[in-house]
Amino acid sequence: MRRKLAAGNWKMNGTAADLTEVKALIAANPTPTVDLLLCPPATLLSRMSDITKDSAIATGGQDCHMNGKGAHTGDISAAMLKDAGATYVILGHSERRADHGETDAIVHAKSEAAISGGLIAVICIGETLDERESGATLGVVETQLSGSVPATATAANTVIAYEPVWAIGTGKIPTLEQIAEVHAHIRTLLVTRFGEEGQGMRVLYGGSVKPSNATEIFAVEDVDGALVGGASLKAADFGPIITALENA
């Protein structure tokens, strides 16, 4: 059985004052039956990790460089993330692909670096609205999955996050049938390439997951949890999503 994962991506949000939300989340979820993850901006990672170290909540980075060190101003290595308390890192998020021109090859190299550095890579894939409307979704997902996920990926060190780009932060949600189709396709691709390891890899759904729609999304086969954006910033919003996943 794949253990469910509720992951929160704070993106470029949060200052020290917002760490009270983490304390509230810990208090409300002392013994969760699913894995919990929060990925804050780098400025908060060490402080958040100090708060969560004796709790069930793991922390992660939002990106890491493909090199271990060097002249890369503004970048952070996997070793630095781990030193700050992280055990996970999000890679290839659609906003990184769009805003920073990250290709599948770059995501692949970063994923290799993260895995080699002892982090669990949360590798993101997903189609744009134009790709969805042109019927290219499954092909796009297959290309990104093949190009972004390294051969070193295992069920223990890799999580896949399917995020339809057109649904992120827009309030638009694919139908349950569309989510099921893509997740089933991803599972088939993972099993074909990795065998039993592919069967064990968790596949998260990410795209405007909220307390109001979490229950029905988590009921879809092969949805092993969620990568949540804005709703993870507040314990009052993220908590019901966690509960929905525990009850799925």
142 is catalytic: no
Domains and CATH numbers, the chain: 5-246 (3.20.20.70)
163 is catalytic: yes
Q: Which of 21, 65, 93, 112 is catalytic?
A: 93
Q: Which of 95, 112, 127, 163 is catalytic?
A: 163
Digitized pLDDT (tens) for each residue of the chain, 248 residues in all = 899 999 999 999 999 999 999 999 999 999 999 999 999 999 999 999 999 999 999 999 999 999 999 999 999 999 999 999 999 999 999 999 999 999 999 999 999 999 999 999 999 999 999 999 999 999 999 999 999 999 999 999 999 999 999 988 777 889 999 999 999 999 999 999 999 999 999 999 998 899 999 999 999 999 999 999 999 999 999 999 999 999 99
Distances (CA, A) of 213 to 61, 133, 136, 206, 209: 26, 23, 26, 12, 6
Through-space distance between the first and last CA atoms of the chain, rounded to whole angstroms:
13
Radius of gyration in angstroms for the set of CA atoms belonging to the chain, rounded to a whole number: 17
Residue 50 belongs to what H/E stretch? Answer: helix 42-52
